[in-house]
Amino acid sequence: MSVLVVGSIAFDSVETPFGRAENVLGGSATFFAAAASHFAPVQVVGVVGKDFPMEQLAPLAARGVDLAGIEHADGESFRWRGRYRHDLNAAETLETRLGVFSHFRPKIPPQFRSAPFVFLGNIDPRLQLDVLQQVEKPRFVACDTMNFWIESRRDDLLALLPHVDALTVNDSEARQLTEEVNLVRAARWIMARGPRHVVIKKGEHGAFMFTPENIFFAPAYPLEEVFDPTGAGDSFAGGFIGYLARSGDLSDENMKRAVVCGSAMGSFAVESFSIGRVLEIGMRDIWERVDAFHRLVGFEREMIG
Amino acid sequence: MSVLVVGSIAFDSVETPFGRAENVLGGSATFFAAAASHFAPVQVVGVVGKDFPMEQLAPLAARGVDLAGIEHADGESFRWRGRYRHDLNAAETLETRLGVFSHFRPKIPPQFRSAPFVFLGNIDPRLQLDVLQQVEKPRFVACDTMNFWIESRRDDLLALLPHVDALTVNDSEARQLTEEVNLVRAARWIMARGPRHVVIKKGEHGAFMFTPENIFFAPAYPLEEVFDPTGAGDSFAGGFIGYLARSGDLSDENMKRAVVCGSAMGSFAVESFSIGRVLEIGMRDIWERVDAFHRLVGFEREMIG
């Protein structure tokens, strides 16, 4: 089953304690598509400028990602420049040039409108809602957002929530949106407004998935080298929704496995700049990492007592 | 099998976003003993001042904790005053009055010297080493420390490490001790200096246990009400070592269960001021929480692929 993603395609310039990269491929749709492409066919809707060399996306096309929804607009491509210091959980934005992204109006090609799985990357919630009006009854819609939209488009975001099955946010965004410090209460607040699943990502501290009946937690994989955290959250979403599309199973038990696949893809994303590592790995690497997660948290209760 | 703990017994005055408590029972030995007493016989070595009403410890004695190692010294008992704001992971110390604790020289009563399990609470590493010279070949020695000793007694702490089976520290202490930002590298650094097990506690973000062959992780239990984080780390240590003493099994598999018991006891500790909640619960509550941890992180791999 295919996955439709709408989001940004960008040039990132990133400085970390371990090196720097200039104008490498980034953006929420890019990381999402790279990660999800291991699990299911992916369709991308986004915008790039006249300066964008489409051969940059050839590795995604080679993985079967359908790029027919990428619009070429007059102007510059979206560029982001950021820095991470030793606290790899906190990106410092040095420069954002929205370019053609500032006038992005997603147009879903007819052949993408029946995608059963939809990921609304971090864009204006009014555009996210507009995307949902263009698609036909998807089975599962997940949505990301960020502090900027929570502040500036709060009412639009709240209007979007009833149409969303899963909201994926980081912990500070969850707190900002709900005005609840406690994440259990924050998740309950969000679930009361629509989404049946709330995924709260805590970066190097792992991710929670809340449903009305369950709480599930997956740690971030303890890597010795976290090279560049950029894109970890979107790669997580790609693994999460990609796995759901592959399995077609939306039971709570299977959603847990999806969270682990998301964590695995996030852990690969941070091993290199851009999508290099996410594209380089194969299914064997992914299942090995899923097994490593199982060993990391697994324990037998039987001896206790 | 019995557990010997050497550490502080204090009066805490604590302010949290949810309330305040004045002069309630605190200290590392107190929290540790309360938690460990659910699993094994506990022997406490510590010091209190003339102002200390021994009936405060009656609930511990009622749980079978042997208080014969508590010295009554001339002077005031140790008092700590602290505050937590909304970030419950960070205590702000408002006042520390060491009182009799500043001249504490642990004397292990003869009947405690054969304890097979020993927990060296957070005191001067020279005193921790002195305790180990007074005991007879314990099976398992765990040791806690803090930023103050890492700064001021670094060489003594390093001299202690070869005599310790498990070091329990929080993430910032691990980074400070090892000068490694990455916790996997920090743990490896510590293991190279003696301890076969390194437990790195991350407060609300859970705890890692590193051994030469394995990494295990247990999240903090996602409570809706974290009332007062004081003592969570020592309650964790009490559950961890108490469970090891109860089971007598030091295999890596069983150490994982011990970490979960530690996390369970830490999660109870934060539900009230002082040791109130830790003393109030019974084994049924503990196993229910261990089961909840199992559900929180457990997933079946079989459907993946």
Q: Output the six-digit token pair for B13.
A: 């005055």
The yes-or-no verdict on residue A86 having pLDDT over 90 is no
- Give the minimum alpha-carbon distance from B230 to chain A in angstroms, rounded to a whole number: 17
Distances (CA, A) of B155 to B102, B121, B159, B177, B183: 20, 18, 6, 11, 21
Choose among A116, A278, A299, A26: nearest CA to B298: A299
Neighbour tally for B282: CB within 10 Å: 9
Question: What is the C-alpha separation between A91 and A194, in angstroms, rounded?
Answer: 30
Distances (CA, A) of A159 to A72, A133, A168, A174, A237: 30, 13, 16, 16, 22
DSSP state of A302: T
Q: Scanning every residue of chain B, which has its alpha carbon at the shortest distance from the alpha carbon of A188?
A: B224
What's the rounded mean pLDDT across residues B165-173? Answer: 97
- Give the minimum alpha-carbon distance from B10 to chain A in angstroms, rounded to a whole number: 29
The residue assigned the tokens 């096309």 is A61
Question: What is the C-alpha separation between A97 and B141, in angstroms, rounded?
Answer: 57
Going by pLDDT thresholds of 50, 70 and 90, the confidence category of residue A85 is confident
3-state secondary structure chain B: CCEEEECCCEEEEEEECCEEEEEEEECHHHHHHHHHCCCCCEEEEEEECCCCCHHHHHHHHHCCCEEEEEEECCCCCEEEEEEECCCCCCEEEEEEECHHHHHCCCCCCHHHCCCCEEEECCCCHHHHHHHHHHCCCCCEEEEECCHHHHHHCHHHHHHHHHHCCEEEEEHHHHHHHHCCCCHHHHHHHHHCCCCCEEEEECHHHCEEEECCCCEEEECCCCCCCCCCCCCHHHHHHHHHHHHHHHHCCCCHHHHHHHHHHHHHHHHHHCCCCCCHHHHHCCHHHHHHHHHHHHHHHCCCCCCCC
* A249 Cβ under 8 Å from any chain B Cβ: yes
Interchain CB distance below 8 Å, A226 and B253: no
The residue assigned the tokens 């003339």 is B50
Residue A59's SS3 state is helix
Interchain CB distance below 8 Å, A291 and B303: no
Instruction: Summarize pLDDT for B38-82 with one digit per residue, the tens.
Output: 999 999 999 999 999 999 999 999 999 999 999 999 999 999 999
- Give the minimum alpha-carbon distance from A222 to chain B in angstroms, rounded to a whole number: 7
Radius of gyration of chain B (CA): 18
- Give the minimum alpha-carbon distance from B280 to chain A in angstroms, rounded to a whole number: 19
* A290 Cβ under 8 Å from any chain B Cβ: yes
B113-151: b or e for each residue (b if 16 or more CB lie within 10 Å)?
eebbbbbbbbbbbebbbbbbebbeebebbbbbbbeebbe
Interchain CB distance below 8 Å, B257 and A300: yes
Q: Output the six-digit token pair for B169.
A: 């520290």
B2: Cβ–Cβ under 8 A, 6 or more apart, which residues? B40, B41, B42, B43, B115, B116, B117, B245
Question: What is the C-alpha separation between A98 and A219, in angstroms, rounded?
Answer: 33
Question: What is the C-alpha separation between B115 and B1, in angstroms, rounded?
Answer: 8
Of A224, A296, A301, the CB nearest to B217: A296
- Give the minimum alpha-carbon distance from B205 to chain A in angstroms, rounded to a whole number: 6
Instruction: Summarize pLDDT for B236-282 with one digit per residue, the tens.
Output: 999 999 999 999 999 999 999 999 999 999 999 999 999 999 999 99
Mutate to test the interface with A, among B263, B285, B304 (most CBs of A within 10 A): B304
Choose among A163, A168, A153, A146: nearest CA to A244: A168
pLDDT number for residue B305: 58
Going by pLDDT thresholds of 50, 70 and 90, the confidence category of residue A90 is confident
pLDDT number for residue B88: 80
* B288 Cβ under 8 Å from any chain A Cβ: no
Neighbour tally for B194: CB within 10 Å: 16
For residues A261 and A242, the answer to whether their CB atoms sit within 8 Å is yes
Length of chain A: 305
Instruction: Summarize pLDDT for A107-160 with one digit per residue, the tens.
Output: 999 999 999 999 999 999 999 999 999 999 999 999 999 999 999 999 999 999
What value does the mean pLDDT of chain B take? Answer: 96
Interchain CB distance below 8 Å, A257 and B297: no
For the entire predicted model, the pTM comes to 0.95
Helix boundaries (H) for chain A? 28-36, 58-62, 125-134, 147-152, 154-160, 171-178, 183-191, 232-247, 252-269, 276-280, 283-297
Residues 168-197 of B with CB under 8 A from A: 181-185
Choose among B131, B91, B94: nearest CA to B229: B91
Question: What is the C-alpha separation between B120 and B136, in angstroms, rounded?
Answer: 15
Question: What is the C-alpha separation between A115 and A2, in angstroms, rounded?
Answer: 6
Choose among A272, A265, A235: nearest CA to A30: A235
Q: Model ipTM?
A: 0.93
Residue A2's SS3 state is coil
Of B224, B290, B304, the CB nearest to A184: B224
Interchain CB distance below 8 Å, A217 and B305: no
What value does the mean pLDDT of chain A take? Answer: 96
The yes-or-no verdict on residue B198 having pLDDT over 70 is yes
Instruction: Summarize pLDDT for A200-258 with one digit per residue, the tens.
Output: 999 999 999 999 999 999 999 999 988 899 999 999 999 999 999 999 999 999 999 99
